[in-house]
Structure 1
Amino acid sequence: MPAILAKKLGMTQLFLEDGRVERVTVLEAGPCPVTGIRTFDRDGYEAVQLAFGATKEKHLTKPELGHLKKAGASAHRHLVEFRDEAGELQVGETVTVEAFEVGDKVKVAGTSKGKGFQGTIKRHGFASGPKSHGSHNVRAPGSIGASAWPARVMKGIRGPGQMGNERVTQKGLEIVQIDAGQNLLLVRGSVPGPKNGVVEVRTDA
């Protein structure tokens, strides 16, 4: 299962040869050195650890630097594990955008934009109340409990609270174009998170 770490650069339009216009998200993907291999015998699961985001050594701790130097990799800010049951990669190799092909279906996971504390209309799509005849129930959530039974508010009630800033996986995205020279992946559709946010790209299999 090809997988890679990427930085979201933003969205743009791409004009294809047949005249169609694709709305795409531009991802700066890799190169990602392989810094660790997890095996079932030793760790209880099979995975590969990739590094992304080259940085200065002073920005990392000594344990982090030691781990990267043991794998023969330079200083990188992000380390993420991907399940790798095939066991195709080895420590010291590098994953690039060339692991993918145009037309591949991928899923992209990232941290969504935080929107702060929001009410039920914005957060859950509740309908608003009547806006005329002196109504004071325009954006209030309404009744949330019962009387004699259960005499409390049941768990899981959709209410106001923090919105966004959570892990989101967008599935069914298609790779429209690959620029190996600049390490760019152009995928059709939107990707979770803000500009310059780090996302995980996997084949959608």
Structure 2
Amino acid sequence: MGHLEKSGIIPLRHLQEFRLQSVDGFESNQRLAVEELFKEGDLVDVSGTTIGKGFQGGIKRHHFKRGPMTHGSKSHRQLGSIGAGTTPGRVYPGKKMPGRMGGTKRKIRKLKIVKIDNELNVVMIKGAVPGKPGNLLRITPAKIVGVNIPKS
């Protein structure tokens, strides 16, 4: 709060710092409009927090197959064997097991901006974005990686 009051900025719900290539034309406490940063047809990368599913078993989390349901089987949705016995005498790190699913940071790359509403300061993007409706998203210009430019 002290930093914001010293700069004369009203406190907002979310505060995010963005790294710019050049600072020319930007001032402290300047409101950024969407149409200044992006235009329709641009490719953008959208990152956010995915929907959290809580603690899930191996079938839902890693798409494991279930065991037989009849003839005395007692392992319907259990994980099964997770490794050898004496050698190596441990479970290897990264083993696919039940645990927390979702709620992680995810970036969806190369989505197209369909429309920008200047009055509402809203961006319409074609494609799926991470998270629930109302989730906070970070929209950045798309990084084009590995493009082969023909030699002329």
Q: The TM-score by the shorter chain falls in which range?
A: 0.7 to 0.9
Report matched runs for 1:149-188 at 5 Å. Answer: 149-188=87-126
Q: Check if 1:93 corresponds to 2:9.
A: no
Report matched runs for 1:3-152 at 5 Å. Answer: 64=1, 66-88=2-24, 89-98=26-35, 99-152=37-90
Alpha-carbon distance between aligned partners in 1 of 2:11 and 2:104, rounded to the nearest angstrom: 27
Give the SS at the match of 2:14.
Answer: strand
Give the SS at the match of 1:198.
Answer: coil
Matched pairs, number:
141
Give the SS at the match of 1:76.
Answer: coil
Structure 1 runs of 4+ with >6 Å offset: none
Q: Deviations over 1:50-85 (max 9, x none)?
A: xxxxxxxxxxxxxx2x32233332121111122223
Output the TM-score relative to the length of structure 1.
Answer: 0.63
Larger % of strand: which?
A: 1
Alpha-carbon distance between aligned partners in 2 of 1:71 and 1:174, rounded to the nearest angstrom: 35
Q: Check if 1:193 corresponds to 2:131.
A: yes
Alpha-carbon distance between aligned partners in 2 of 1:90 and 1:132, rounded to the nearest angstrom: 70
Alpha-carbon distance between aligned partners in 1 of 2:113 and 2:86, rounded to the nearest angstrom: 56
Alpha-carbon distance between aligned partners in 2 of 1:101 and 1:134, rounded to the nearest angstrom: 63
Question: Counterpart amino acid of 1:165?
Answer: G
Alpha-carbon distance between aligned partners in 2 of 1:114 and 1:181, rounded to the nearest angstrom: 33
Structure 2 residue runs without a partner (length 5+): 144-152
Question: Counterpart amino acid of 1:141?
Answer: L
Alpha-carbon distance between aligned partners in 1 of 2:87 and 2:93, rounded to the nearest angstrom: 14
Give the SS at the match of 2:138.
Answer: strand
Question: Counterpart amino acid of 1:74?
Answer: I
Question: Counterpart amino acid of 1:91?
Answer: S
Structure label with greater radius of gyration: 2
TM superposition shift of 1:187: 0.4
Give the SS at the match of 1:177.
Answer: strand
Alpha-carbon distance between aligned partners in 1 of 2:64 and 2:40, rounded to the nearest angstrom: 40
Give the SS at the match of 1:74.
Answer: coil
Give the SS at the match of 2:59.
Answer: helix
